[in-house]
Amino acid sequence: MATHPQLGDVEPTAPPFATLPALTTARLPEAAPRIKEAWLRHPVLVFHQCDLTPEDLVRFGAIFGTPVPVPVQEDIVDTTGLPPEIMIISNIVENGRRVGHLGGGDLSWHTDMCYVPEPALASALYAVETPEAAGDTWFLDMTAVHDSLPAALRARIATLSCKHDDSRTAAGDLRHGRVPVLDVTTSSGAVHPLVRVRPETGRKALYLGRRLNAYIPGLPLAESDALLDELWGYCDDPALSWPHRWRPGDLVVWDNRVMMHRRDAIPDGSRRLMRRIQAR
């Protein structure tokens, strides 16, 4: 008789990553405690060959916290029949209308929902349709980035915060009903410390969110921009980031507090459809 991985088995892949056995509707309830335990040790968990409904995905999100309803994006997408917590991310256009959000262009490094007072603890993507060898998602370990900073720079930012623009999406599109930001020093958006601590480990992570329209309150604009550019420069170290190449049925969940992510562009004519769930 063939043996199958047990629900608690974790196969490490790269320092922040771990791979767990496939999930189905039937296996999800019994797997939940071990998934949460693994996530506290590995801030990125990967599951291959999953078979999950949108409702399953909401239950998966509840492992990590309270699932969050989809925030307002750049336009209105038809989500008839889907739970309100499920966001469709897709480049597909049917009958002249977008099927999902964020299109097919590349997305720069970002943290989900950094622009709200209580960002998501966990973000998860479930692949429904994926192109061949394109649209990879990259993950950046912000704990390692913080540790790579010179001691003087770590000391300088230890008590500083950053304001995160809430007018545009991760793709840079203006959100539905918003107007362009003219002055980042007075624009709206949540303010969070530049350094946060993952309570489960006590380790510090750099919390940059997104570069577009970011501002460090209390600093002159030029000084804020110079400091942010310096900090973002430390995110370019290829040794601190890892790609995930998607296949249909893949489910990836990451600790949104300490990992940033970005996406490679999707070629014209290729189809990519993902379902996202977030929990806080």
Q: What is the pLDDT of residues 16-37, one digit of tens each?
A: 889 999 999 999 999 999 999 9
Confidence of residue 123 (pLDDT cuts 50, 70, 90): very high
Residue 35 is predicted with a pLDDT of: 96
pLDDT tens for 132-169 read 888 999 999 999 999 999 999 999 999 999 999 999 98
- What are the pLDDT digits (tens) for 175-224? 888 889 999 999 999 999 999 999 888 999 999 999 999 999 999 999 99
Q: Which CATH architecture has domain 11-140+241-279?
A: 4-Layer Sandwich (3.60)
The residues, any chain, with a CB within 8 Å of residue 188's CB and separated by 6 or more, are: 166, 167
- Residue closest to 205 by CA, chosen among 119, 146, 159: 146
| Residue 54 pLDDT | 96
List, for residues 91-117, the tens digit of each pLDDT value. Answer: 999 888 888 888 888 899 999 999 999
Say yes or no: domain 142-236 is CATH 3.40.50.360.
no
Contact assessment for residue 252 and residue 18, using Cβ atoms and an 8 Å cutoff: no
Unique residue bearing structure tokens 């043996």: 3
Cβ neighbours, 10 Å, residue 83: 18
| Span(s) in the chain for CATH 3.60.130.10 | 11-140+241-279, 142-236
11 pLDDT band (50/70/90 cuts)?
low
Residue 171: count of CB within 10 angstroms of its CB: 18
d(CA 24, CA 17): 21
3-state helix, strand, coil in the chain (%, to 5): 20, 30, 50
Tally Cβ neighbours within 10 Å of residue 195. 18
Cα separation, 20 vs 195, in Å, equals: 30
Nearest to 262 by CA among 222, 221, 210: 210
pLDDT tens, position by position, 56-67: 999 999 999 999
Q: For the whole model, what pTM was predicted?
A: 0.91
Decide: 128 and 150 in contact? Cβ < 8 Å.
Answer: no
Residues 6+ apart with CB under 8 A from 206: 142, 145, 146, 149, 157, 194, 195, 231, 234
> Bridge partners of 251?
47, 126
